[in-house]
Amino acid sequence: MTMSQAPDSAVRTYIEQHRTTFLDDLAEWLRIPSVSAQPDHAADVRRSADWLAAKLRETGFPTVEVWATPGAPAVFAEWPADDPAAPTVLVYGHHDVQPAAREDGWDSDPFEPAVRGNRLHARGAADDKGQVFFHTLGVRAHLATTGRTAPAVHLKMLVEGEEESGSVHFRSLVEEHADRLAADAVIVSDTGMWAEDTPTVCTGMRGLAECEIQLHGPDQDIHSGSFGGAVPNPATAVARLVAALHDEHARVTIPGFYDGVADLTDRERELLAELPFDEEQWLRTAKSYAAHGEAGHTTLERVWTRPTAEVNGIGGGYQGPGSKTIVPASAMVKLSFRLVAGQDPDHIEKIVRAWTATRVPAGIRYEITFAAATRPCLTPLDHPALRSVVRAMGRAFDKPVRYTREGGSGPAADLQDVLGAPVLFLGISVPSDGWHAPNEKVEIDLLLKGVETTAYLWGDLAQNWRHES
């Protein structure tokens, strides 16, 4: 007998029965210090990939491969559905972790997992091994409780090994294997939710375009007494350029910057307003002393739904102790632009170049360099896969699921780009989990809610999407 939807009690019982083995296995993986940014851990990153590959085979995936890159390897797994008409879902995560050392302020060895209360502490517990790993018990629970031998969707997983060192080879890896990775939807399990008592699903990430502008004035630093006030100063020029980026309403002034950016719909505003947002608390997290941003938008709208122009670094002239009375030879600024749906990084580069060209004063020479850009992602609110995620999460948490977005930018956009599939975000981490910080942890209860969510998800998704599409 197979059931497209198992009763919740059966799923919970199954998870409860396998909880100890699941946590023991995860602990074993967490003991491998797969720090991709540190060359002396390269063997550990490879060991982590091999460990995961073995575990995915043990889980039942008929195809599991370790894909080499010029850097750290990724793990690919595939489990076809019985029904060839079932939708294909690609789960994304990563098996590398941030650096960690006991002396950074950890209460125990970051690579010796420690359970304290409901928390599992280890580097990678939340970011991202824990959130990759809940998919293994999730698919087992899905099969066991529905009597299936294969998942209700055609299930693929891609777990990269370089996310914490910039995903340098990720895009070319995805391009190389685009046919193997083809999917109707991508589910990224490398984000989090609003709070322990507020399950949420993230529906978009901002994109990112970055540039550096170098401005050159005199051929060398010159005496400000002899020449000051009569030649253009590149530090003044860079400041005037940066100051001109925003108008008095903190809107970006570059002509064409908002091209394609849609106003939030009433529904989108309502969904954001449903979140129990406390600005004072948010400011404490931001370690900042005031909220400030584009007029006409709330703080959450600003960080999640609006494009920005931000100065990441500025410099020029003498910055040491005391003073040096010069007109500096050069100055520079590093700018990053967060992008939202409708904005195209190539267009942004073009208009930033044009705007800069019109604003640099006579006598100042300049160069502008753009780094590789990341496109924004946005899941349509009425996408059937999104509805399934919300429904599955709601069942697991037994609470209404709210909607968030992510202000940052990530390699998920490459998947959307190359595969042409919508990207959805399913994560159970909470802000207190301490990503990249000492004493990183995952809440064990939430981790098991992640298992439970995926145990419901594949059946719901197969049924729902087939009906609606």
> Using CB under 8 A, which residues numbered 369 to 388 contact a second copy?
371
Structure tokens at 341: 């749906």
Cα four-point dihedral sign 99, 170, 416, 452: negative
- Min CB(241)–a second copy separation in Å: 8
Is residue 462 a contact residue for a second copy (CB under 8 A)?
Answer: no
Is residue 317 a contact residue for a second copy (CB under 8 A)?
Answer: yes
Report the alpha-carbon distance of residue 230 to residue 224 in Å, rounded: 9
Strand 207-216 relative to strand 200-205, pairing: unpaired
Between 63 and 288, CB nearer to a second copy: 288
Report the alpha-carbon distance of residue 424 to residue 393 in Å, rounded: 13
Is residue 409 a contact residue for a second copy (CB under 8 A)?
Answer: yes
- Min CB(359)–a second copy separation in Å: 11
Between 165 and 454, CB nearer to a second copy: 165
Distance of CA 323 to the CA centre of its chain: 43
| HEC readout, 128-169 | CHHHHHHHHHHHHHHHHHHCCCCCCCEEEEEEECCHHHCCCC
Please work out the total of residues on this chain that contact a second copy, with binding judged by CB under 8 A: 80
Q: Which of 172, 312, 432, 469 binds a second copy (CB under 8 A)?
A: 312
Q: Which of residues 232-251 bind a second copy (CB under 8 A)?
A: 232-233, 235-236, 238-246
**Choices 43-51, 52-60, 157-165, 400-408 (CB under 8 A): range interacting with a second copy:** 400-408
**Choices 157-165, 269-277, 315-323, 392-400 (CB under 8 A): range interacting with a second copy:** 315-323
Q: Which of residues 187-216 bind a second copy (CB under 8 A)?
A: 206, 208, 210, 212
Q: By C-alpha distance, which of 466, 206, 219, 244 is closest to 361?
A: 244
Is residue 217 a contact residue for a second copy (CB under 8 A)?
Answer: yes
Could you tell me if 227 and 219 are in contact, meaning their C-beta atoms sit under 8 angstroms apart? no
Q: Which of residues 122-161 bind a second copy (CB under 8 A)?
A: none
Q: Which of residues 271-310 bind a second copy (CB under 8 A)?
A: 283, 286-294, 299, 302-303, 306-308, 310
Is residue 357 a contact residue for a second copy (CB under 8 A)?
Answer: no
Binding mask 337-356 for a second copy (x = CB under 8 A): -x------------------
Between 27 and 264, CB nearer to a second copy: 264
Please give the single-letter amino acid code of residue 435.
W
Between 117 and 321, CB nearer to a second copy: 321
Q: Which of 74, 193, 327, 457 binds a second copy (CB under 8 A)?
A: 327
Could you tell me if 317 and 331 are in contact, meaning their C-beta atoms sit under 8 angstroms apart? yes
Q: Which of residues 65-94 bind a second copy (CB under 8 A)?
A: none
- Min CB(273)–a second copy separation in Å: 16
Is residue 253 a contact residue for a second copy (CB under 8 A)?
Answer: no
Report the alpha-carbon distance of residue 300 to residue 279 in Å, rounded: 9
- Min CB(233)–a second copy separation in Å: 6
Helix (H, G, I), strand (E, B) or coil at 266: helix
Distance of CA 296 to the CA centre of its chain: 26
Helix axes 234-243, 345-359, angle to 10 degrees: 130
**Phi then psi for 409, rounded to 5 degrees?**
-135, 145
Cα four-point dihedral sign 234, 235, 240, 241: positive
